[in-house]
A and B are shown apart, each in its own frame.
Chain A
Amino acid sequence: MERVVIIGGGGGGAILANLLPEEFKVTVVDKSEVHFFQPGNLWIAFKGVRKEKFLRPLRSLLKPRVEFVHDEVVSVDLNERVVKTASGKSLSYDYVVFASGAELDYGSVPGHRELLERFGDFYSTPENAEKLHASLRGLKEGRFVIGIADPVYKCPPGPHKAAFLSWEFFARRGLSDKVKVVLAVPVPHAYPSKTIADIIEPELNSRGIELHTFFTVNEVDVANKRIVSLEGEELSFDVAAVVPPHRGPSYAVNPAEVKDGSGYIKIDKYTSRVEGFDDAYAIGDCTNAPTSKSGVTAHLQAEVVAARLQGIDARYSGRTNCPLITDGKGLFVISDYDHPPIPVRLSKFKRLMEDFFVATYWSAVRSPELWSPIFRAYFEATDEFIRRGEGW
């Protein structure tokens, strides 16, 4: 029986573990006993939804045949085929899959950690999202600033969703004239893709959300309530949340060259195979694949790796499907390695589709084999639009 060790039971790792058939002896190692649905942080922070809705014991999401080891991985030796953990376990494998996500680095921007401790954020944990909710409830006038500290971060539409949802939060409380929502992005337009920026910018303008482009957060001065950008500008705030720089796994990997300059695991973007090894794969946010860091990517790469371990020559096209919602409408940023995001229309229906994806999440993780045909049909139908470069 071939032994597969999966590092991380987040979106990608849990789906992969559940997709592998009984012929494999599958072990998932995760330092956390709970799995949390990360997009839920936005609902906790801006809508006050209870965090329990987005948390499940990881064990309960894995099929009974999958072994769960609650432990932190401290090193992986790809030559010796062994994964070591903080409690001293050595796990040998026939195949290893890195699925440990991106690490959030609050230490590299001066003042950032202090900002997080003071106000919370909508990005890191459900607890910090609760804290941000409390901070926003206390804000009766002034400026709520959303910033980004590095152009590479998971869920590219996340900060934009935060801007629209926080605007809605203040509008509902009759505070739209008193509280200014400010969105600062590192890129030249409202959104990384110009096509999507052209759709979003009028929506930000019509709500009076202040937009700053070419603003990469470089320093936070919590005492004086100002944020300084790498490009040399300053913004004042009353409450602020900044998306932190991300990096790849901090645990040691031998050989060290399989990590790139930011610590991401270098993979073949189609097969997810770790560069230089045919018994090691990496999926999701921990890789250097040139596509959005998103749950959709992690899920599709998990399907590819599950197929490849069973001898099928599956490939990931780089497909993304990131929802960007305003208060009432939504769109999906869809693209693949060969095609930039296509022009799309904001609609109430797509907003509902996001709710549908949220509602199906737990079931899709636990029983991916049931949901895969449905998602596949959706992806195949919408791939047509990408190929034609047409709106959807």
Chain B
Amino acid sequence: MPEITVDARGMACPGPISALTRAYRNAQNGDLIIVLATDPGFEPDVKAWVERTKNELVELAKVDGNVIKAVIKVTAKK
């Protein structure tokens, strides 16, 4: 399963979501997008994004202290 990693650490809101959007444009169904972010706003934003786009949130966790890691399985691309 192809993995796309987006390193958005250090980016302020809405940098991580914008980076996810840009990665999503090039992704295909079945791909995994992994986003690493430090902005606390990313957590609610990514939940809302997944709900809106109807993709699958496989994992949302804090790693290494303040880094938020979101793993999204792309399932909703037309």
Contact = CB atoms under 8 A, between A and B. Distances in A.
A214 B18 contact: no
Contact of A232 (B22, B25, B76): B76
B13 A340 contact: yes
A74 to B, nearest CB: 28
A214 B22 contact: no
A214 B22 CA distance: 12
B13 A151 contact: no
Most buried by A among B12, B17, B53, B54: B12
B36 to A, nearest CB: 16
A79 B77 CA distance: 43
Interface residues of A, number: 18
A214 B49 contact: yes
A187 B22 contact: no
Interface string A170-208: 000000000000000011110011100000000000000
Interface string B45-78: 1001100111000000000000000000000101
Given A194-B41, A214-B53, A340-B12, A230 B17 contact: no
A231 B22 contact: no
Interface string B1-36: 000000000011111011001101100000000000
A311 to B, nearest CB: 31
User: Do most interface residues of chain A lie in helix, strand or loop, or is the interface mixed?
Assistant: loop
A187 B14 contact: yes
A253 interface: no
Contacts of A150: 21-22
Contact of B21 (A186, A189, A193, A290): A186
A186 B48 CA distance: 13
Main SS class of interface, B: helix
Given A230-B25, A340-B12, A187 B52 contact: no
A230 B24 contact: yes
Nearest to B14: A187
B32 to A, nearest CB: 18
B1 to A, nearest CB: 21
Interface in A132-171: 150-152
B24 A151 contact: no
A128 interface: no
B21 A230 contact: yes
Nearest to A335: B12
Contacts of B24: 230
A367 to B, nearest CB: 35
B9 to A, nearest CB: 12
B31 to A, nearest CB: 14
A384 B23 CA distance: 37
B22 A188 contact: no
A218 interface: yes
A150, A188, A231 interface centre (most CB from chain B within 10 Å): A188
A231 B25 contact: no
A266 to B, nearest CB: 16
A216 interface: yes
A52 B52 CA distance: 44
Given A194-B14, A216-B21, 10 more contacts: A150-B21, A151-B17, A187-B14, A188-B45, A189-B14, A193-B12, A193-B14, A214-B52, A216-B25, A230-B25
17 contacts: A151-B17, A151-B18, A151-B22, A188-B14, A188-B17, A189-B14, A192-B14, A193-B12, A193-B14, A194-B41, A214-B52, A214-B53, A232-B52, A232-B53, A232-B76, A290-B11, A290-B15
Interface of A: 150-152, 186-189, 192-194, 214, 216, 218, 230-232, 290, 340
Query: What are the 5 A-B residue pairs with the smallest beta carbon separation, nearest first?
Result: A151-B18, A187-B14, A231-B53, A214-B52, A340-B12
